[in-house]
Amino acid sequence: PRLAILLSGRGSNMVALVEAVQRGVLQGVTEVAVVFSNKPDAPGLTTAAALGCPTASLAPEGRKRAEYDAAVVDVLQTYQPDYVVLAGYMRILSPVFVRAFAGRIVNIHPADTHQHQGLHAYEWAFENHLAETKITVHLVDEGLDTGPILAQAPVDLRGADTLAEVERRGLAVEHHLYANTLAQLIRQELPTPSIAERSATQH
């Protein structure tokens, strides 16, 4: 299978995934078709190019969300991805995007999505003095961090007395969990929850 990896910033999860494709758990089972960004100057794009990945970007430039997302779908489809992998992609996807790749969009969220959705998940864990937080890898549906969970892993936060330390511990878990979960998904070793079924039971 071919991955399109989407990012907006630094791209440490992208690096972990590319390394897993090049010499880790994803080696031989997948390839990175493109690393795409909504920010043409995202540091992660430069890093991806240095790692030998095809890159592409498209700035929203004032376009309405659905219009922009339709244009992104067009760009991505030229790379024929089997999975769209969000790695710090700081945009909420509109239905036109979610439907174009239904059940094939994966996200990583640095908290338990049952407890926390949206931005600033590490700040939330730090400010609430959590002894443990969870990293979540989930399929993307039309809500914000509401899609069916594929895998979670705990992060021990005992003694983590700065936000930087919380993030350091969390990111280390993220990098392993994301590559391992994608490998399981691709090898069909995970029960694959259906997005349609889930919304039918939710509403």
Residues interacting with ligand GRF, by CB under 6 A? 7, 9-13, 44, 87-88, 108-110, 174
Catalytic residue among 109, 116, 138, 175: 109
Q: Is 93 annotated as a binding residue?
A: yes
- β-strand partners of 32: 3
Tokens of 49: 């190019």
> At closest approach, how far in Å is the CB of 133 from ligand GRF?
11
Is 109 designated active site? yes
Q: Spell 11-42 as b/e; 16+ CB within 10 A means b.
A: bbbbbbbbbbbeeebbeeebebbbbbbbbeeb
Task: Report which DSSP code applies to 94.
Answer: P
Distances (CA, A) of 57 to 6, 64, 90, 167, 169: 9, 17, 14, 27, 30
* Identity of the residue, 21 or 87, whose beta carbon is nearer to ligand GRF in the bound complex: 87
Q: Is 5 annotated as a binding residue?
A: no
Q: Is 104 annotated as a binding residue?
A: no
Q: Is 12 annotated as a binding residue?
A: yes
Rounded to a whole number of angstroms, the CA Rg of the chain reads 16
* Identity of the residue, 81 or 88, whose beta carbon is nearer to ligand GRF in the bound complex: 88
> At closest approach, how far in Å is the CB of 111 from ligand GRF?
9
> At closest approach, how far in Å is the CB of 129 from ligand GRF?
20
Distance, CA of 115 to CA of 105 (rounded, Å): 21
Annotated binding site: 11-13, 65, 90-93, 107
Annotated binding site for (6R)-10-formyltetrahydrofolate: 65, 90-93, 107
Looking at the annotation, which residues are catalytic?
Answer: 109
